[in-house]
């Protein structure tokens, strides 16, 4: 197996490094952020991702996985370099590639023998050519290298499983030699006949963006269908079930809610749209998905205010769920941000609870009250908004919920509570795409 350096210990870098070491490779994860590396050296995982600590601990114990702040030495000692740094959205909507290009320059400075440079970070189409150019123009010797685009398809909350048991591997390689090396890196998957797509670099880069944009489109589409269901009296759950039975559609990502968030869909759709505008090839469907998603988040706040008859000032609203979805502590682009800000803008008081994401949301809203459990959050509240589909919210004792609330008002943006139970207990409630029972 191969000696590998993974540059960047954020979400993509750490999951990838742990997974690659679990395949039997010798992996060193490098980062200039000393606090991250010190945390990892102490056995602490800086992100919440189910199963990740177990994989990290197992491979550290087996001496296949290590961590360092000496990025230069990690590059020098490795045969394959994975770039796994962040590519956040810039003010223009494009991906900020400064960290990627900085890593490319470091690779050039430390290119001491032939290596394969592999990008895991989500980067716009054309980035691979730019990375190759940076390395060629900045290297101090004539040492050869090859480049591979190897996009990740990790779902937050299920990333470990997605890496270890993927539904496909995409390898956009510049040479047969590099392709063979990457196949060796992924040898356990190759032996298990995991579909491996061999293509060129631009195609590999496009596959990543096309996949995420399509899933975002499905979410925005079903949210608009849900909104229309409310008007005409249809039940979106039955609609989506029937739609999902069609093999051409599938039931995945047909779950109406408060809008998509996280580190991928919002950023990637905007980056793809920005690229299309630059190339004068309009992507009207992607633009509409972005607009629909923004509107859906605002619509959830309007639903809450309608439930409360717009009497918000001085009222306490419990917000249950802060992460953009369950099984993650990621609050980036979470629908809860729009909800909390809208409540505060109208003079409302927010009490919030999330099993794991409170610390991250506190960075954005330091002055609201964060509670240790849902019962504390809803006690004496005038209304409650359920924003994330955590399992503990699915199993809420509705009688206990009513006894704790000052007013029995519930907005269920994830459609996880029983309408029958809410109705029988006399709640005034709303959800997404389903009429309240009479």
Catalytically active residues, by annotation: 264
The strand ranges marked E within 112-271 are 115-119, 145-149, 169-173, 196-199
Q: What SS3 state is found at 89?
A: strand
Euclidean distance between CA atoms 122 and 119, whole angstroms = 8
Euclidean distance between CA atoms 182 and 146, whole angstroms = 11
Element spanning 411, H or E: strand 409-412
8 A C-beta contact, residue 47 and residue 14:
yes
Euclidean distance between CA atoms 127 and 144, whole angstroms = 19
- Per the listing, tokens 């509570």 go with 417
Euclidean distance between CA atoms 148 and 143, whole angstroms = 17
Euclidean distance between CA atoms 407 and 409, whole angstroms = 6
85 φ, ψ to 5°?
-85, 170
Residue 297: exposure state from Cβ atoms within 10 A (0-12, 13-18, ≥19): buried
């Amino acid at each position: 197996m191969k000696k590998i350096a993974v540059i960047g210990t954020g979400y993509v870098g750490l999951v990838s490094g742990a997974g690659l070491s679990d395949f039997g490779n010798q992996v060193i994860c490098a980062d200039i952020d000393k606090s991250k590396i010190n945390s990892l050296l102490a056995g602490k995982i800086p992100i919440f991702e189910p199963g990740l600590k177990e994989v990290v601990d197992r491979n550290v114990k087996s001496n296949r996985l290590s961590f360092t702040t000496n990025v230069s030495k990690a590059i020098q000692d490795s045969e394959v370099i994975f770039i796994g740094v962040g590519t956040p959205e810039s003010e223009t909507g494009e991906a900020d590639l400064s960290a990627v290009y900085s890593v490319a320059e470091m690779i050039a400075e430390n290119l001491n023998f032939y290596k394969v440079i592999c990008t895991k970070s989500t980067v716009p189409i054309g980035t691979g050519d730019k990375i190759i150019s940076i390395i060629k123009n900045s290297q101090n010797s004539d040492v050869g290298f090859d480049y591979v685009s190897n996009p990740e398809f990790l779902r937050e909350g299920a990333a470990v499983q997605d890496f270890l048991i993927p539904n496909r591997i995409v390898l956009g390689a510049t040479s047969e030699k590099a392709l063979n090396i990457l196949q060796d890196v992924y040898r356990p998957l190759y032996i298990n006949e995991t579909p491996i797509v061999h293509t060129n670099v631009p195609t590999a880069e496009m596959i990543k963006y096309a996949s995420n944009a399509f899933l975002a489109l499905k979410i925005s589409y079903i949210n608009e269908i849900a909104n229309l269901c409310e008007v005409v009296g249809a039940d979106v759950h039955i609609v989506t079930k029937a739609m999902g039975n069609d093999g051409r559609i599938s039931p995945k990502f047909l779950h109406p809610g408060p809008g998509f968030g996280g580190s991928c869909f919002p950023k990637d759709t905007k980056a793809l749209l920005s690229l299309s505008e630059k190339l004068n090839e309009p992507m009207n469907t992607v633009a509409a998905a972005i607009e629909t998603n923004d509107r859906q988040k605002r619509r959830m706040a309007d639903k809450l205010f309608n439930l409360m008859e717009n009497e918000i000032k001085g009222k306490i609203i419990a917000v249950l769920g802060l992460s953009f979805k369950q099984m993650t502590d990621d609050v980036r682009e979470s629908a809860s941000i729009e909800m909390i800000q809208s409540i505060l803008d109208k003079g409302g008081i927010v009490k919030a609870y999330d099993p794991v994401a409170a610390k991250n949301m506190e960075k954005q809203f330091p002055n609201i009250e964060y509670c240790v459990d849902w019962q504390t959050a809803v006690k004496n509240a005038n209304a409650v908004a359920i924003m994330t589909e955590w399992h503990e919210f699915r199993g809420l004792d509705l009688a206990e919920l009513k006894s704790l609330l000052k007013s029995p008002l519930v907005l269920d943006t994830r459609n996880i509570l029983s309408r029958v139970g809410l109705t029988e207990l006399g709640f005034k409630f709303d959800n997404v795409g389903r009429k309240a029972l009479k």
